[in-house]
Structure 1
Amino acid sequence: MLQSMRPDPTFHPSAQLAMEAEPEHIAYTVLLSPDRSRPDALAVIDVDPQSAAYGTVINRLDMPCTGDEFHHFGWNACSSALSPMSGHAFVQRRYLVIPGIRSSRIYIVDTQPDPRAPKLVKTIEPEEVMRKTGYSRPHTVHCGPEGIYISTLGGGGADGTQGPPGVFIMDCESFEILGRWEIDRGPQKLHYDFWWNLPRDYMVSSEWGLPPQFENGIVAEDLLANKYGHALHFWNLRERTHLQTIDLGANHQMALEVRPAHDPTKEYGFLGVVVDTTNLEGSIWTWYRENGTFHAKKTATIPPEPADAGQLPALLKGFGAVPPLISDIDLSLDDRFLYVACWGTGELRQYDVTDPMKPALAGSVRIGGIAQHAAHPGGKPFGGGPQMTEISRDGKRVYFTNSLYSTWDQQFYPDGVPGAQVMCHVGAQGGITLDPNYFVDFGSDYGAHQIRLQGGDCSTDSFCYPSA
């Protein structure tokens, strides 16, 4: 009984203490069926370099339905449970919450008693999600002190355009959907990512587009007319009310991943913007709070790369260049290095963000890419480009996969994006190198998207106490 009343040992008060934890031994990666002909799946990968099965899939959990399109997923509980305001201090990081972004179905997977053999324990049908929230297309999963927060990309109706998307809350023990999070959403009409600073009591969210703008591929006319999302929203976390909108400018299309500093004493974070329609460059923005008001500044840009039209898919032939297409960013737990996935050019960039207003390029690797098709250093071809990125707690390893979204994969990489996962080693003073011996091949039947590491990682946990 006493054992059950202690916090999960994978919960850490501060990011610095989390960095001292035992390295991960397994990784969980969601797989999707690009043509929806087979069920999506959860792959379990051995990432222990001392294991004979290192870098291989040791288990795969196939789901009972087809057409889900697995995308982002998360834990039922994490270090945020150590918040002084938490009502769930003794929950475990045990269950994976996996939404289907196309079906609006949600699966609950139990990783105990054997983390190498997870089991499906509950399925929440889309009708229940819609009935209790009015939302569809569940996307990002974050564990918070009050429960599980899930952002959505669609509102009501078959096409998800009846009313704006938003965030809903799920109980982290019963997995019952409690309802919408927002009390007053203000002018927010689009949604994508969200995260927070728990002690400072604010949340930040970003924008992509509504389901008709992404489900059947990128809509070129909407992109050129600047109709995708281009704003950040800031919220009072406790009151669940909208505070402020920062419009980045309509040319900064698709404001996607938000990554706040892990140390809650730091009131800043980063945002990746996919493309500037005036010049095809991608950009990194630093947002921060000063005297109670939020601000955002473009602090790094990544230019497009010229390419012969013969190397380009139909969508890009008229431009004669490959945009970087920043599809993910991730921040190491010490808030030192920001990783930027350039899915179009096939580059993973590492920036030193010790000064968050002046990101300095510290490292880069090339693999895949629309024009370059750079092979893995182990010699294997790599479809797509660096996409969903996950950093080990100690900051020494960076894992990434290669699928963005099935219909977008087909538009930008018509030769296919067979699912793959690779890993970079990080130098003590920066710099990254691809591990030539780590290449997880999921085969052409699957695309590979987000990764979760056993015990937590850099885009899962929220910390409530400062790093000493």
Structure 2
Amino acid sequence: MNLRPDPTFYPSPKLAMAAPTETIAFMLMLSPDRSRPDGLAVVDVDPTSASYGQIVHQVIMPYKGDEFHHFGWNACSSALSPLSGHAFLERRYLIIPGIRSSRIYIIDAKEPREARIHRIIEPEEVFAKTGYSRPHTVHCGPDGIYISTLGGGGPDGTDGPPGIFLLDCQTFDVIGRYEIDRGSQDKQYDFWWNLPRDYMVSSEWALPPQFENGLVPEDLLSNKYGHRLHFWNLRERRNVQTIDLGANHQMALEVRPAHDPVKEYGFCGVVVDTTNLEGSVWTWWREGGEWQARKTVTIPPQPASPDDLPELLKGFGAVPPLVTDIDLSLDDRFLYVSCWGTGEMHQYDVSDPMAPRLAGKVEIGGIVKRAKHPNGRGFGYGPQMVEISRDGRRVYWTNSLYSAWDDQFYPGDRGGAMVKADAGADGGLELDPDFFVEFPQGYRSHQIRLEGGDCSTDSFCYPSA
């Protein structure tokens, strides 16, 4: 424990934006065929360094078949919460769950180039103390580490609904389930909160049989994937309202609340509308004590010859954008939207959250376009997990969605990669021709974490002045 708060903890988003520039990024490496263990890659993102854009360290796990996907820190700016915080924690450990194995790795990253395994939480502990499986999203809260799950109990994860559980932020012991009253919530994906306003919002993807071995077309066309947002009283751990976005709006994934806790709105990305193949972004907000949600961005599919499409899409004659990730800059001004199918990264000015305006766009990868990087290299798959620097000027992303889904939409191994784009102060996006990280053969890449925090890690307890 520190004797003073970690210097990477900031009371407000505005203060975090003035933080030192990141020099290290942490990246997950996953073995799609499970022939080798998954790992953590440490990437040099300092443009003045001789190893800029290179993997400078790897932590390879002792087991195979974990399927790394999302991960997070043990502590962040939420530790400064005046009521329930742990201000003297240290942002030191990365919490990495395996979706397939339900095993959780605690990585000591105090010295990034010497990162190592600190502890392994075996799946039996998760099952016994929570009844959940398939851990997914990690958020550092003021009172512990929160982890969402994609599965309930039983071999196929359908014995009861999935949910959220907590780890002790110092010992990393599994404490137990978060939910006291879940209401109608029966699927889980992402979650995040506004700490001073005392609410949490969660979203839905699918149950394990619907994603683990690939997209199930019959379930998608029957609108059986998730399409609801759930709003919770954070402290009471109670679902207070559920909003159905419409059964045709399949797979409501990432939720991004405004970073400034004074604001009571946020965004959710929806993968596909089954009536027209559009992707969309929804704005949600609270008004008169009730939660509302409205579709504020639509992204149309792009016509394509069936000969150029994977088997899954041949009958549609078009490429859906497939909105698979979104991320919001710390000043709450720019929202980045990954269009994994069409191979585009969109930048929206959301100064007015009810009327987003396209401010920039980059094309790279894509099912049909296969747009190359400025350095001439191919970018397999499309833009996927996106992360933004605290000052909002650098945007990083990777290309793998989920191994079984990669193989359906992009047959054949395309290789893991990470790129960076520079963002203008008033909008605009341009790929950095000198930054292109290729991952070791046989590995794909997913979520990114930046040294000292980023735009999908920290939640703040104090307004920006």
Shift of 1:416: 2.0
- Cα distance in 2 for residues equivalent to 1:417 and 1:190: 31
Name 1:110's counterpart in structure 2.
Answer: 108
User: TM-score, with normalisation over the residues of structure 2?
Assistant: 0.99
Cα drift, residue 428 of structure 1: 1.6
Partner AA of 1:13 in structure 2: P
The corresponding residue for 1:20 is 18
Cα distance in 2 for partners of 1:33, 1:333 equals 32
- State the Cα deviation string for residues 102-141 of structure 1 (Å, max 9, x = none): 11100000012x2222010100111110100000000000
1:55 aligned to 2:37?
no
Superposition deviation, residue 87 in structure 1 = 4.2
Query: Is 1:328 matched with 2:312?
Result: no
- Which residue of structure 1 lines up, in the alignment, with residue 242 of structure 2? 245
1:45-71 alpha-carbon deviations (Å, 9 max, x no partner): 000011000000001110000000000
Runs of 4+ that moved beyond 3 A: none
Distance 1:87 1:366 in 2: 42
1:188, distance to aligned residue in structure 2 (A):
0.4
1:128 aligns with 2:125: yes
Residue 7 of structure 2 is matched in structure 1 by 9
Match of 1:269 in 2: 266
Q: Which runs of 5+ in 1 are unaligned?
A: none
Listed one character per residue, the Cα deviations across residues 241-290 of structure 1 (whole Å, up to 9, x for unaligned) are 01000000000000000000000000000000000000000000000001
- In structure 2, the residue matched to 1:399 is 396
1:171 match: 168
Secondary structure at 1:156 match in 2: coil
Match of 2:257 among 256, 260, 267: 260
Structure 2 distance, partners of 1:343, 1:102, is 23
Shift of 1:88: 1.4
Query: Structure 2: any 5+ residue segments left out of the alignment?
Result: none
Q: Which amino acid aligns with 1:23?
A: T
Is it true that 1:303 corresponds to 2:290 in the alignment?
Answer: no
What is the Cα deviation at residue 417 of structure 1? 2.8
- Return the letter of the residue paired with 2:5: P
Inter-partner Cα distance in structure 2 for 1:431 and 1:370: 24
Partner of residue 185 from structure 1, selected from 182, 186, 189: 182
What secondary structure is seen at the aligned counterpart in 1 of 2:316?
Answer: coil
Amino acid at match of 2:273: D
Question: Matched residues in 2 for 1:107 and 1:262: separation?
Answer: 28
Letter in 1 for 2:189: Y
8 Å Cα contact 2:187/2:226 also seen in 1: yes
The one of 291, 315, 318 equivalent to 1:318 is 315
1:211 aligned residue (204, 208, 211): 208
Using the alignment, how far apart are the partners of 1:11 and 1:249 within structure 2?
39
> Over the residues paired in the alignment, what is the CA RMSD in angstroms?
0.7
- Residue number among 420, 423, 426 corresponding to 1:426 in the alignment: 423
5 Å-filtered alignment, 1:6-85, equals 6-85=4-83
CA contact under 8 A between 1:417 and 1:444: conserved in structure 2?
no
Check whether the contact 1:26–1:116 (CA below 8 A) recurs between aligned residues: no
Number of the residue aligned with 1:156: 153
Q: TM-score, normalised by structure 1?
A: 0.99
Pair 1:202-2:212 in alignment: no
| CA distance, structure 2, for counterparts of residue 68 and residue 287 of structure 1 | 34
Task: State whether residues 403 and 417 of structure 1, in contact with CA within 8 Å, keep that contact through their aligned partners in structure 2.
Answer: no
Aligned-pair identity in percent equals: 72
Residue from 267, 271, 277 that aligns with 1:280: 277
Alignment deviations for residues 373-427 of structure 1 (CA, whole Å, 9 cap, x no partner) = 1111111111000000000000000000000000000000003230000000001
Contact 2:75 2:169 in 1 (8 A): yes
Indicate the larger mover: 96-105 or 408-417. 408-417
1:293 matched residue in structure 2: 290
Q: Quick check: 1:402–1:417 contact (8 Å CA) kept in 2? A: no
Q: What is the deviation of 1:30?
A: 0.3
- Please name the residue that 1:119 is paired with: 116
Rounded Cα–Cα distance in structure 1 between residues aligned with 2:286 and 2:41: 39
Q: Which residue of 1 aligns with 2:91?
A: 93
Tell me the distance in 2 between the aligned counterparts of 1:257 and 1:401.
16
Give the distance between the partners of 2:357 and 2:163, measured in 1 at CA.
Answer: 34
